[in-house]
């Protein structure tokens, strides 16, 4: 029998002595070999991701009229992409997709939709292969149209060129929004999260709402990991937050140079794609 490497066990993240990286070593935005690349990506993002820019990107991408492709074809395209905002990995994004999915399958074998979300959560990054700069595709997300909170990565050193921060209509705690209006009514910085969510809705994919929240807000670290922006959340957001947190531990702590045997895993994950988002999709 062939022994297949199914990737690292996510529970190892909670036993740092036996994991190749301590939990504290992930998301190091202060030093490391990739620091300059990461900082420059966020500097561009935090300068140019304005309310007007985000509205323009919704017009350009949310209608899903750029190309047609199956889900697995998109995953294969990620072999061409290394995320310039990620301080933890320097290998193609497709490996991370299978690492995340396999971590979820081990701990949640009864939730096939959750496993599929692990596989596809980053494939909105395909925009970077169709002309979008990475600062408009990757990295942590944050609301536009209101005050930039302090927990945003590089908050104190990268926003000075963003005109929204100097606009009195946009730089208050609520900005253009109402208290507890709900994240559905918030415009987030444009990136792969919101884009894939729009693709899922446009193509009428049947992933449950919990999975759609994971897709849409998994990069919203100021919210799910730091507790900011709660003043904009409604009851639905608070109910979904534990699901996003549960997803995050697999998204983050399964990153490893121990890469899975992707070929052996494809038939299983193709069956999940066929169940929840089959055929050729519009992007």
- Tens-place pLDDT, residues 45-64: 999 999 999 999 999 999 99
Residues 117-129 pLDDT 10s:
999 999 999 999 9
Binding site for Fe cation: what residues are annotated? 96, 121-122, 192, 218, 251
User: Residue 116: what are its φ and ψ, rounded to 5°?
Assistant: -65, -40
Residue 1, pLDDT score? 31
Q: What is the mean pLDDT of residues 72-92?
A: 73
Residue closest to 72 by CA, chosen among 90, 98, 91? 98
Per-residue pLDDT at 155 exceeds 90:
yes
Per-residue pLDDT at 256 exceeds 80:
no
Domain ranges of the chain: 35-282
Confidence of residue 191 (pLDDT cuts 50, 70, 90): very high
Tell me the Ramachandran region of residue 133: left when phi exceeds 0, alpha when psi lies from -120 to 50, beta otherwise: beta
Q: What is the mean pLDDT of residues 69-96?
A: 76
The more confidently predicted of residues 21 and 168 is: 168
Q: Three-class SS of residue 169?
A: coil
Binding site for substrate: what residues are annotated? 27, 83-85, 125, 139-140, 218-219
Binding site: what residues are annotated? 27, 83-85, 96, 121-122, 125, 139-140, 192, 218-219, 251
Runs of H (alpha helix) within 121-208: 155-158, 192-202
Q: What is the mean pLDDT of residues 130-147?
A: 96
Q: Three-class SS of residue 66?
A: coil
Q: What token pair was written down for 81? A: 């992409």
Per-residue pLDDT at 19 exceeds 80:
no
Residues 203-219 pLDDT 10s:
999 999 999 999 999 99
Per-residue pLDDT at 10 exceeds 50:
no
Q: Cα(112)–Cα(247) distance, rounded to whole angstroms?
A: 13
- For residue 50, the Cα-to-chain-centroid distance in whole angstroms is 19
Q: What is the mean pLDDT of residues 92-116?
A: 90
Per-residue pLDDT at 134 exceeds 60:
yes
Confidence of residue 35 (pLDDT cuts 50, 70, 90): confident
Residue 90, pLDDT score? 58
């Amino acid at each position: 029998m062939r022994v297949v490497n199914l990737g690292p066990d996510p529970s190892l993240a909670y036993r740092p002595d036996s994991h190749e990286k301590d939990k504290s070593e992930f998301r190091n935005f202060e030093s490391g070999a990739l620091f300059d690349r990461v900082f420059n990506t966020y500097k561009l993002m935090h300068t140019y991701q304005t309310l007007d820019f985000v509205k323009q990107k919704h017009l350009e991408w949310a209608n899903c009229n750029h190309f047609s492709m199956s889900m697995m074809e998109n995953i294969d395209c990620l072999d061409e992409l290394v995320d310039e905002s990620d301080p933890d990995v320097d290998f193609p994004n497709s490996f991370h997709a299978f690492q995340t999915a396999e971590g979820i399958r081990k701990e949640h074998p009864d939730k096939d939709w959750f496993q599929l979300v692990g596989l596809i959560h980053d494939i909105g990054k395909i925009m970077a292969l169709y002309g979008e700069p990475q600062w408009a595709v990757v990295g942590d997300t944050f609301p536009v149209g209101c005050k930039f909170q302090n927990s945003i990565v590089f908050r104190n050193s990268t926003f000075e060129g963003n005109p929204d921060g100097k606009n009195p209509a946009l730089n208050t705690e609520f900005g253009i929004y109402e208290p507890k209006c709900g994240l559905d009514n918030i415009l987030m910085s444009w990136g792969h999260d919101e884009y894939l969510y729009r693709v899922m809705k446009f193509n009428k994919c049947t992933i449950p709402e919990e999975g759609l929240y994971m897709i849409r807000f998994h990069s919203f670290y100021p919210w799910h990991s730091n507790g900011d922006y709660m003043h904009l959340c409604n009851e639905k957001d608070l109910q979904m937050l534990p699901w996003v947190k549960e997803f995050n531990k697999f998204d983050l702590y399964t990153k490893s140079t121990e890469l899975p045997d992707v070929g052996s895993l494809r038939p299983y994950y193709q069956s999940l794609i066929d169940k929840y988002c089959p055929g050729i999709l519009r992007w």
